[in-house]
């Protein structure tokens, strides 16, 4: 007999719309089991999804999805949603090559109306959908489920401010799963939430408004504000009321007897403008190992369902993230002006280690990269040495602040850019493809890329020494090479690369960790009688113009290679060579970059192979430039 008999009957949300409340409770239990089972096989995000099991069931039961739009913010809450929306048969392909995305994705299902992998976008997108609905004269609900972590970002409040003023019908569900703004207090809280969302209350409220309007504007405004504050004081929703939302809650997000009537009332309410339903949930709910874990199993590798023990890879070397953290700590021990900043990613950036040793010099600003960058600029303006450790794709969210608040003022903010290059299972939304392009274009910016963990240590020391302009060091996700680490980093000569191997025919100029592939390619080229020089550029800006000039003058072919998009390091090299007249001297130049597409999730190795940035691709590029493709093909065969 199946362990999930009700879930087996649900192929699409319409299949559960006639379920009784008792059946919905059973369905939620089965959905929780299936989510745990699936993620134990694939790894991924678990805790947030377990916290919204009942909410997911209630929303799909009550709303006519996909015609009613259901937006998850962020997408890692949405694994249970995927199971209920026709993707259960593929749920064990999550985050694998050719499988389901770990986030919501428009191209994957009509039940994913908006792709969400970065946080705090749901209310903005939902408001846009609501206005589009109104302009088209259509009738549908727009529901945004936003986590409380996402509510720490300014974009969410910008959207709420706009939504409150627009008076467009929108339902926002605040999934309060970490720190409750106002904790639910059992039966009384549930009663009040049902009361203030009921048709009777809303009808009486409308009648009272009409009556008070006849008594004059002054009394009307006073009565309206008194009523809103009364509800706000009872429920904790005064802030949302002030922003123009009709607030309902807080309610227990795991109690379907509370959830179903309140969400039904919110769906049917005759309220002008947006409604916010405050739902309190528990990350990891219903799975004991997750409930006990400090991170509530937010992100996990494959694990044993019975014990919760996660599979541990046998690391051959420390991760680049850990090397960065340890290198920064070494610098901070020597210089009390060094401080560190993260935007809600202390463990992801390694700054949890820094915070343990220097709790008063480490600042987590929440999901607020824009604020974090300008906060760092303020610290720098007062003589401190801030290191802003932010993922490459998250730094994109603060580009105006990087330009206006840091670069124009030439403030020495140091950007530690984790997850540079391709990132495997997290796919295009988290792939650091663009940071060299968007930083190296800024005047007076120092942009470094580490080719291995020793170079990363040197570059952290170098960044700490730069006090007259902004700087950045980029490094990938994953492990280093296992090299012996120096106790301290050495300050590098700004804008100077290094020769790693000498040759005479072909020059390979690498920026970042493709250096190892370049060395493999050099071995293969040498075996073909084509000796190759391999150089580590170290800096995308300023360029080592002397090195480039030398390589172009002494080799027949010059190849640049980088883990970044078109418009980055290779483009800067070509720009210099063109203006210096080096392209007319006979050296054939080729640039190797990430392809001009957003690459789907897969293993990093498969992604780089698909991007044609492996050793074999370097060899093919070199032999093609020399007109020896047939020789290479024969040797390869």
Q: How do residues 173-199 score in pLDDT, each as one tens digit? A: 988 876 333 343 344 344 444 544 555
Residue 498 has pLDDT above 60, yes or no: yes
Answer positive or negative: Cα dihedral of 411, 412, 413, 414. Answer: positive
Which of 63-77, 222-236, 241-255, 380-394 is least confident? 222-236
369 is catalytic: yes
Q: Could you write out the three-class secondary structure of 299-316?
A: EECCECCCCCCECCCCCC
pLDDT in the model for residue 184: 39
Q: Which one of 369, 453, 517, 562 is the catalytic residue? A: 369
Q: Which of 385, 397, 474, 538 is catalytic?
A: 397
Q: How much is the pLDDT for 149?
A: 77
- Catalytic choice (133, 283, 505, 541): 283
Tokens 């005759």 locate to 270
Least confident interval from 49-53, 113-117, 263-267, 404-408 = 113-117
pLDDT in tens, 507-560: 999 999 999 999 999 999 999 999 999 999 999 999 999 999 999 999 999 999
Instruction: Name the DSSP letter for residue 94.
Output: T
297-311 mean pLDDT = 87
The reported pTM is 0.87
State yes or no: is 514 an active-site residue: no
| Predicted local confidence at residue 180, as pLDDT | 33
Torsion of CA 251, 255, 257, 260, to 10 degrees: 70
Predicted confidence at residue 10, as pLDDT, reads 97
Whether 326 is a known active-site residue: answer: no
Is there a contact between 78 and 101 (Cβ–Cβ < 8 Å)?
no
Give pLDDT, residue 297. Answer: 81
Q: Quote the mean pLDDT of the chain.
A: 89
Closest CA to 17 of 58, 69, 73, 48: 58
Residue 58 has pLDDT above 50, yes or no: yes
Closest alpha carbon to 262 in 272, 251, 254: 251
Query: Which residues are 303's β-sheet partners?
Result: 310
pLDDT at position 202: 52
User: Roughly what angle, to the nearest 10 degrees, separates helices 122-136 and 154-166?
Assistant: 20
- Give the residue-averaged pLDDT of 345-351: 93
Strand order across the 275-280 sheet: 69-73, 142-147, 171-176, 275-280, 246-252
Higher pLDDT, 111 or 202: 111
Q: What average pLDDT score do residues 401-429 get?
A: 95
pLDDT score recorded for residue 391: 97
């Amino acid at each position: 007999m199946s362990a999930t008999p009700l879930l087996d009957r649900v192929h699409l949300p319409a299949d559960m719309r006639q379920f009784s409340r008792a059946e919905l409770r059973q369905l939620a239990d089965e959905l929780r089991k299936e989510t745990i089972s699936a993620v134990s096989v694939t790894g991924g995000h678990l805790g947030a999804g377990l916290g919204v099991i009942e909410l997911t069931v209630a929303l799909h039961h009550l709303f006519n999805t996909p015609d009613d739009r259901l937006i998850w913010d962020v997408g890692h809450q949405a694994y249970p949603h995927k199971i209920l929306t026709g993707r259960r048969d593929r749920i064990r392909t999550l985050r694998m090559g050719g499988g389901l995305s770990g986030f919501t994705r428009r191209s994957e299902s009509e039940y994913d109306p908006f792709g969400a992998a970065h946080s705090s976008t749901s209310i903005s997108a939902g408001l846009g959908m609501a206005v589009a609905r109104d302009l088209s004269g259509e009738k549908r609900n727009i529901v945004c489920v936003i986590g409380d972590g996402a509510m720490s970002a300014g974009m969410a409040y910008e959207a709420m401010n706009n939504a409150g003023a627009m008076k467009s019908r929108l339902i926002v569900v605040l999934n309060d799963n970490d720190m409750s703004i106002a904790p639910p207090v059992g039966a009384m809280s549930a009663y009040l939430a049902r009361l203030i969302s009921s048709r009777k209350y809303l009808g009486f409220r409308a009648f009272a408004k009409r009556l008070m309007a006849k008594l004059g504007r002054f009394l009307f405004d006073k009565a309206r504000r008194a009523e809103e504050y009364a509800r706000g004081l009872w429920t904790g929703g005064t802030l949302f009321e002030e922003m123009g939302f009709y607030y309902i809650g807080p309610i227990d997000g795991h109690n379907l007897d509370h959830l179903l009537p309140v969400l039904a009332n919110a769906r049917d309410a005759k309220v002008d403008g947006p409604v916010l339903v405050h739902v309190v949930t528990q990350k990891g709910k219903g799975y004991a190992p997750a409930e006990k874990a400090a991170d509530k199993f937010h992100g996990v590798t494959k694990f044993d369902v019975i014990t919760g023990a996660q599979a541990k890879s046998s690391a051959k070397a420390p991760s680049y993230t850990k090397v960065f953290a340890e290198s920064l700590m070494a610098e901070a021990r020597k210089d009390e002006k060094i401080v560190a900043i993260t935007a809600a990613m202390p463990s992801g950036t390694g700054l949890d280690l820094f915070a343990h040793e220097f709790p008063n010099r480490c600042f987590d600003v929440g999901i607020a990269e824009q604020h974090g960058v300008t906060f760092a600029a303020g610290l720098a303006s007062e003589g401190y040495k801030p290191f802003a450790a932010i993922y490459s794709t998250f730094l994109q969210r603060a580009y105006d602040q990087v330009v206006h608040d840091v670069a124009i003022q030439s403030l020495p903010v140091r950007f530690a850019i984790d997850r540079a290059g391709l990132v495997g299972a997290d796919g295009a939304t988290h792939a650091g493809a663009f940071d060299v392009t968007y930083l190296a274009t800024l005047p007076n910016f120092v942009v470094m890329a580490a080719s291995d963990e020793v170079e990363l240590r040197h570059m952290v020391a170098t960044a700490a020494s730069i006090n007259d302009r902004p700087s950045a060091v980029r490094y990938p996700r994953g492990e280093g090479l296992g090299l012996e680490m120096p106790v301290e980093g050495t300050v590098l000569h700004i804008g100077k690369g290094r020769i790693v191997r000498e040759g005479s025919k072909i020059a390979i100029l690498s920026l970042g960790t493709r250096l190892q592939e370049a060395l493999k390619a050099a071995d293969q080229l040498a075996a073909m009688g084509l000796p190759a020089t391999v150089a580590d550029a170290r800096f995308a800006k300023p360029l080592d113009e002397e090195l480039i000039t030398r390589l172009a003058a002494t080799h027949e072919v010059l190849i640049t290679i980088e883990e970044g998009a078109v418009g980055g390091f290779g483009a800067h090299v070509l720009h210099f060579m063109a203006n210096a007249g080096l392209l007319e001297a006979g050296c054939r130049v080729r640039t190797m970059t990430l392809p001009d597409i957003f690459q789907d999730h897969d293993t990093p190795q498969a992604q780089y192979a698909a991007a044609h940035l492996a050793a074999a691709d370097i060899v093919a590029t070199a032999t093609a430039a020399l007109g020896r493709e047939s020789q290479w093909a024969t040797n390869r065969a």
